[in-house]
Amino acid sequence: MSSDDEVKQATRVRPSPSVQSLMDLARRSVPDLRRNAETIEPVSPGKGRFPGRALVERARRGLEWTRLPGLRPRQARPPERMAKRLFRSYCLFALAPTAVVGLYVFAIASPQYIVVSQFAVRGNVEPMASAELGLHSDLIQKHNSQDSFILRDYIGSRPMVEAVDAKLGLERMFSQDGIDFWAGYGAGQPIEKLVRYWRRQVIPHIDAISGVIHLKVRAFKPEDAVAISEEVIARSETLINSISRRAQSDMIANAKKEVEQSFERLKQARVAMQEFRNRWGIIDPVKSAEAAVTTIELLRKDKIKAENDLRVLRDSKLDEKSRGIQVLVATLGALDGQIKDLQGRLTTDGIVSNSEHNLTQALLEYEGLMVEQTVAEKLNASMQMILDRARVAAAKQQIYLATFVPPLLPTYSEYPAPFYALFAALFCFTVLWSSVSLVTAAINDNRL
C-alpha cells in the first residue's frame, strides 16, 4: 500500500519532458519581460493599431458571458453612493406622495360626521337553513333570519336612495359649498352614481353571531347624518311591517279561501237535499220506510186475525152468504190490497205501474245526498278550525324592528382621521417603493 502511494507521489512531482521544457523557457523569459516592462514607452492611441484589432475586440466582447443573454448592457454612469441614490428615490416615490396625502387630509379634506345605530329584526322569524358554520352554528341560525339580509340589501338599494332623496334631498346634502372635490358629490349626475355614492356613505353590517345590524352613516353635517339615519331606520321598519302584514294576510287569506270552498260545497249539498225532498214529497225516506214496514206488519197481524175468524165461522157450518162471512172476506181483500200497495212502494217487485218511484230508489238517492252533506259539514267545520288556527298563528307571526341604539348627534368629526390616513399612505408608498427598488436592483444585477 505504501509503494503505491510513493509511485503516485513520484508521478505527481516528476513532470513530463515537454512540460519541463516549457517551464525552463518561462524561467528564462521572466527577467527579459521585466526589463522590457520597465523600459517600454507608452503607445499613443493613434499609433500601433492594425486593421484587425477592432474585429478582435468585437469578437472578444461577444464571447464574454458576464450577463444574461437578451439584456441590454448597463450604460456607463458616474459612480454614486448607494445610500444617496436610495434616499433620493425614497423621497421621490414615498415621501412626496405621502406629503400630498397629508396636505389633503390636513388642509383640504372636509370633515365628515359619523352616526352609528344598531337594530335587529325580532319576533317569530324563520331561521336560516342549516349549514356547517363551526362552533357558533346554532347561535348563528337562531339569530340570523332571511329578513335581516333582506333589510341589509334594501338599505343599499335604489328604492331606498330614491325615497330618502325625495324626502331629505341627498344631492343637496352631499354637494354643498365648501365640500372638497374628492369627498363631495357632483350634483346633476344620474341616479346610478348617486346610489354608488350612497353605498360609500351609508354602510350596513350584520353581526354573524348576534344578527344585529350595525348602520354607519357619514355626512358633512351632524344634523344631516342623524336625519339620514332616522329616515333609513323608518323606511326599514316600514319594510319589515309590510313583510309581516303580507305573511299574516297570506296565511289568513288562504284559510278563508278554503273555508269559502267548503261552505259552497255544503250549500250545494243542502240544495240538492231540498230538491230531493220536493221531488219525492218525503222529508226522511228512512223514517217513511220504517213507518211503511211497521204498517205492513200491523196489516199482516190484522189479516191473520181475520183469516182465523173466517175459518172459525166456516167450521161452524155457516152459510157463505151470511153477513159475518161476507164482512171477513171483504176485510181480508182490503188487507191484502193495502199490504201489496205498501210493498210496491217499498220495492220494485210490486204491482204498481211506476216502479221507479219507490222508497228503495229514494233511499239510494237519499243516502248519497246524506253522505255528501255529512262530508261537506265535517269539511266546513275542519276549515273553520283551520281558519281559527291561522289567525292565532298570524298573531304569533308578528315581526318588528327593534332599535336599541338610536342615532345620536355627533359632537366631532371622526372622518377622515388625518394621522391614520397619513400613516397608512406612508406605509403603502413605502411598500410600493421597496418592491419597485428590489425589482430594479435585481434587473441591474443581471446587466453586469
Q: State the pLDDT at residue 157.
A: 92
Indicate whether 134 pLDDT > 60: no
Cα–Cα distance measured from residue 68 to residue 64, given in angstroms and rounded to the nearest whole number: 10
- Cell numbers at 227, concatenated: 336625519
Indicate whether 375 pLDDT > 80: yes
Crossing angle of helices 158-168 and 146-155, rounded to 10°: 50
The proportion of the chain whose per-residue pLDDT surpasses 90, expressed as a percent, equals: 15
Sort strands 213-219 and 113-123 into parallel, antiparallel or unpaired: antiparallel
Q: State the pLDDT at residue 68.
A: 47
Q: State the pLDDT at residue 428.
A: 93
- Cell numbers at 40, concatenated: 517600454
Element (H, E) at 277: helix 222-280
Amino acid at the residue 229: S
Q: Answer with the residue of higher pLDDT: 299 or 431.
A: 431
Q: 184 — alpha (psi -120 to 50), left (phi > 0) or beta?
A: beta
**Which of 159, 76, 24 shows the shortest CA–CA distance to 448?**
76
Coil/strand/helix, residue 20: helix
Segment 422-429 mean pLDDT: 90
Is the CB of residue 428 less than 8 Å from the CB of residue 267?
Answer: no
Element (H, E) at 231: helix 222-280
Amino acid at the residue 396: K
Segment 415-444 mean pLDDT: 86
Per-residue confidence band for 48, with pLDDT thresholds at 50, 70 and 90: very low
- Which of 104-108, 127-131, 379-383 is the most confident on average? 379-383
Cα–Cα distance measured from residue 213 to residue 147, given in angstroms and rounded to the nearest whole number: 11
Cα–Cα distance measured from residue 268 to residue 369, given in angstroms and rounded to the nearest whole number: 10
Element (H, E) at 431: helix 418-445
Q: Answer with the residue of higher pLDDT: 440 or 11.
A: 440
Q: Which letter, b or e, does each residue of 279-308 get, where b requires 16 or more Cβ atoms within 10 Å of its Cβ? A: ebebeebeebbeebeeebeebeebbeebee
Cα–Cα distance measured from residue 363 to residue 360, given in angstroms and rounded to the nearest whole number: 5
Q: Answer with the residue of higher pLDDT: 301 or 18.
A: 301
Residue-wise pLDDT tens digits, 161-172: 999 999 988 888
Distances (CA, A) of 75 to 64, 372, 388, 448: 17, 106, 93, 10
Is the CB of residue 402 less than 8 Å from the CB of residue 120?
Answer: yes
Cα–Cα distance measured from residue 223 to residue 408, given in angstroms and rounded to the nearest whole number: 9
Indicate whether 346 pLDDT > 90: no
Element (H, E) at 403: strand 399-405
| DSSP string across 282-309 | -S-HHHHHHHHHHHHHHHHHHHHHHHHH
Number of H helices, E strands in the chain: 15, 4
Cα–Cα distance measured from residue 296 to residue 300, given in angstroms and rounded to the nearest whole number: 6
Residue-wise pLDDT tens digits, 319-330: 777 777 788 888
